[in-house]
Structures are given as structure tokens and as C-alpha cells.
């Protein structure tokens, strides 16, 4: 019996395998992926830097109002000065004696009603800066698009109001009726 002969045979290639050309730009999807990642990183860093600069800025976000007074775009100190001038010095409230119809104009401060301008401006400055980053950013965008109203911090000194009302009552020759104060939408009303 003869020994089997061992001859090497080549595997035959499929006729379809040899005819498929290799794509000349096979690395293009990887390039687009890396490019998109770089763009996202740059956008994230730019957004973070912009938010950090806004957060550190001494100016109040645009569109912020305190009791109807536009304070957006000014510094905290400028807003406090404007609020103090308007609410504590320029505003006057009419006091009317219903039986006689006599009226007296009094400054709000003379009636014991003042606005804490510094705290009100600080609250306005906090719009877009306080809370979680996403919430604060949402506030900043809302103030830009629609504006944001911040309630003033109001103080009422009952002793000053009572003393002034006693003076006016003596002039009006009418008995003093206990008064109250209401602030609604930036409008101060004596009750």
C-alpha cells in the first residue's frame, strides 16, 4: 500500500471577495465623531465660562424689576440707590379724612413704611445666580425673554406710623383708626 501523498493545496478564494474594493475614506466616521466631541467640549467649556463670568458680575441680569422699577443691567449699588430714592424719599402717600375729604400727602417713610433697598437689590441680583445651575440658568433666560419681577423687602414701623397718624388726626380733628399696610404688585396701600 502506498503512502498517501501530502500535497499542499491553496484554498480557493470566493470570486466575490476579491472584487470588493476597500473604502478609501474608512476613517471618516471616526473623524466626524472626534470632531463632534471636540465641538461639544468647546461648547460646554464656553457655556461654563460664560455662566461663571455672569455669576461673578456685579450687574443685575437684564429684564429684572423690583416693584416695577427696572434694575436690570445696573450694579447692585446703583439699584439700591435708585430703590432708596424712589421708595423712601420720592414716593408720597395720600392720607384722606373721609368725613371732611381733607387730604395730606406724606412720604412713605414718614408713615413708617420703608423699603430695604439693599436687600431688595440683593434679591434682584440673585435672579439667575441662586439655586441649582440649571434652575439659575433658566431664571436668567426667563429674565431676558419676559422679564422677572422681584418683590421689594418692605419694613413697617408701627410706632412711627401711629405717631404720624396721631399728628394728622389732631389736625383733622378726627379719631385715629388703627391702620394696616398692604403691598401688592409693587403698589403700597394703607388699609
Q: Which three cell numbers stand for residue 53?
A: 463670568
Q: Which three cell numbers stand for residue 2?
A: 502506498
**CA gap 117, 88 in Å, rounded:** 9
Percent of the chain at pLDDT > 70 equals 71
Can you give the length of the chain in residues?
191
What range defines the domain where residue 53 resides?
46-190
Domain-embedded: residue 37 = no
How many distinct structural domains can be found in the chain?
A: 1
Domain-embedded: residue 39 = no
CA–centroid distance for 12 within its chain: 74
- Per-residue pLDDT tens digits for 147-186: 888 999 999 999 998 898 888 878 776 566 666 777 776 6
- Judge whether 144 and 61 are in contact, CB under 8 Å: yes
- Per-residue pLDDT tens digits for 37-60: 889 988 888 777 777 666 667 888
| Mean pLDDT confidence for 60-66 | 89
| pLDDT exceeds 80 at position 2 | no
Domain-embedded: residue 11 = no
Amino acid at each position: 500500500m502506498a503512502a498517501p501523498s501530502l500535497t499542499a493545496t491553496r484554498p480557493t478564494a470566493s470570486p466575490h471577495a476579491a472584487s470588493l474594493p476597500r473604502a478609501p475614506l474608512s476613517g471618516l466616521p471616526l473623524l466626524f465623531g472626534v470632531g463632534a466631541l471636540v465641538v461639544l467640549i468647546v461648547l460646554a467649556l464656553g457655556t461654563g465660562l460664560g455662566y461663571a463670568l455672569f455669576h461673578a458680575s456685579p450687574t443685575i441680569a437684564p429684564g429684572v424689576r423690583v416693584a416695577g422699577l427696572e434694575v436690570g443691567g445696573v450694579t447692585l449699588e446703583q439699584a439700591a440707590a435708585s430703590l432708596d430714592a424712589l421708595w423712601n424719599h420720592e414716593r408720597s402717600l395720600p392720607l384722606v379724612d373721609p368725613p371732611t375729604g381733607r387730604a395730606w400727602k406724606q412720604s412713605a417713610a414718614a408713615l413708617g413704611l420703608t423699603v430695604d433697598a439693599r436687600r431688595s437689590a440683593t434679591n434682584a441680583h440673585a435672579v439667575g445666580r441662586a439655586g441649582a445651575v440649571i434652575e439659575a440658568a433658566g431664571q436668567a433666560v426667563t429674565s431676558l425673554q419676559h422679564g422677572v419681577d422681584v418683590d421689594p423687602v418692605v419694613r413697617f414701623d408701627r410706632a412711627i406710623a401711629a405717631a404720624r397718624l396721631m399728628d394728622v388726626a389732631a389736625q383733622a380733628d378726627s379719631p385715629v383708626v388703627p391702620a394696616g399696610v398692604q403691598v401688592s404688585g409693587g403698589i403700597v396701600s394703607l388699609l
